[in-house]
Amino acid sequence: MELNDFIEKFAEQFDETDASEFKADTEFKALDEWSSLSALSIIAMIDDEYDVTIKGDDIRNSETIEDLFNLVKSKA
Amino acid sequence: MAFLEIKNVRLAGVSAGVPSTILSNLDSQLSTEYEPEAFVKQVGVKERRYSEILTTSDLCYGAAEKLIADLGWDKSDIDGIIFVSQNADFFLPATACILQDRLGLSKECYASDLNLGCSGWVYGLSYAASLMTSGTIKKVLLMAGDAKRRTKQTLVDPIFGSAGTVTALEYDVNAKAMQFHFGTDGSGFDAIIIPDGGARNQMTVDSFHEELLDGKTLHRFQVRMKGMDVFSFGISTAPKTIKKLASNYGFEYQDADYFVFHQANMQMLGMIQKKLKIADEKMPTCMYEYGNTSSASIPLTIVTQLKGRFENKPTKFICCGFGVGLSWGTVALETNNVIVSDLVEMSDEEVDKKYVV
């Protein structure tokens, strides 16, 4: 799995935040648009695209998009 | 392995009672984190039924009177009640006992409550049907639902609607066997929980102390949910239990006519549907208008979405409930000649006035 591809799919879960704002080091929980609903969309995307079911703690323990990418990669 | 096959019991009828009052989720501020429109779009609940007066047992009572009349059953022939709810009328006695008297059933009646939520209808079905296989208990009412809670919980609770359902079961040696799979993971006990008011954390004035959790202000008598964990649990567990059941009993799950899932969250149901490759027309949902109604959601979906479409022909159902506990259950059953009552809409005046202390 590719980091850039993951970032692109991550960005697709957001309606209001411009795709260009999503980078490997983006602290996603600090985004204005981030909410408990976006968290569910991210869990769904990861399950759907990578066949990995992450849990709440995985989101809580990740700061950047790359952190989450590495976590998913380790479970894939 | 928690598989179970129950013979000689048929599903004779289904009914559902809901409060007549409709609450729209578009009219209120649901969370400090997101707009109501975003919630409706993603979670899939536009409105729900709500009453500050009617309890689960009131709704089950109304649904039971309607179904008993539609079935033409003689009340004196009803041998048992199983009441599945997490919102009993009293801490004690069991609500099933009150319903025996309120419905005017014989004192020769097996009556018991069962404290489960999302998985409750499937568990309740196995519980009720198990009583009947030997043929001495011939007619049982399975009542399932959640409505008014022990403390007020209106606006903070946009996903949950109120409903009380009744499923009538009858001894029948010609009935196709019901096949079940069950599972439990108590390590997730706090994924959905009301922390205070039980023996573990007795109620004190501090129980009403409010905290901000995931954008919602909640006190300790209110339901709190670890949404992300429940979501992960649902999308992984529901497909697995259905596949396990089909594999254990050697059938193709795709041969079912209808898949009725606990109505948890539309995004979650969409994921489950995709994983199991279920066609839209085989997977009815009632979340948009009724919300998540806990153990009522499977029978409420049948009443509101399938009435008139399956009653008088052999129909294969797979029904799956999953959630609070964490607990899950799946049943494969075949129905024929079923009575489905019209939805019973109840006004606050229909509240129980007799069993009052």
pLDDT of A76 higher than 90: no
pLDDT, tens digit (0-9, with 9 covering 90-100), for B265-291:
999 999 999 999 999 999 999 999 999
Q: Is B216 helix (H, G, I), strand (E, B) or coil?
A: strand
What one-character DSSP code corresponds to residue B301? H
Q: Is it true that B3-176+340-350 and B180-338 share their CATH fold?
A: yes
Instruction: State both tokens at B66.
Output: 């309607």
Q: What is the ipTM of this complex?
A: 0.87
Q: What share of chain A is helix, strand, coil (3-state, %, to 5)?
A: 60, 5, 35
* Beta-carbon separation of B227 and A39 below 8 A: yes
Whether residue B147 contacts residue B84, with contact meaning beta carbons closer than 8 Å, is answered with: no
Integer Cα distance of B129 and B196 in angstroms: 33
Domain-wise residue ranges, chain B: 3-176+340-350, 180-338
Residues of chain A contacting residue B236, judged by C-beta atoms under 8 Å apart: 47, 53
Q: Is A3-75 a domain of CATH 1.10.1200.10?
A: yes
Topology of the domain comprising B3-176+340-350: Peroxisomal Thiolase; Chain A, domain 1 (3.40.47)
pLDDT of B326 higher than 70: yes
Q: Does B32 touch chain A (CB under 8 A)?
A: no
Instruction: State both tokens at A9.
Output: 């799919």
Q: What is the CATH number of domain B180-338?
A: 3.40.47.10
Report the residue from A35, A41, A53 with minimal CB separation from B232: A53
* Beta-carbon separation of B235 and A44 below 8 A: yes
Q: Does B322 touch chain A (CB under 8 A)?
A: no
Whether residue A53 contacts residue A47, with contact meaning beta carbons closer than 8 Å, is answered with: yes
pLDDT, tens digit (0-9, with 9 covering 90-100), for A9-51:
999 999 889 999 999 999 999 999 998 889 999 999 999 899 9
Does an H or E element contain B344, and which? strand B344-346
pLDDT, tens digit (0-9, with 9 covering 90-100), for B215-257:
788 999 999 999 999 999 999 999 999 999 999 999 999 999 9
CA within 13 Å, CB half, B313: 6
Q: Which of A65-74, B38-47, B196-205 has the lowest mean pLDDT?
A: B38-47
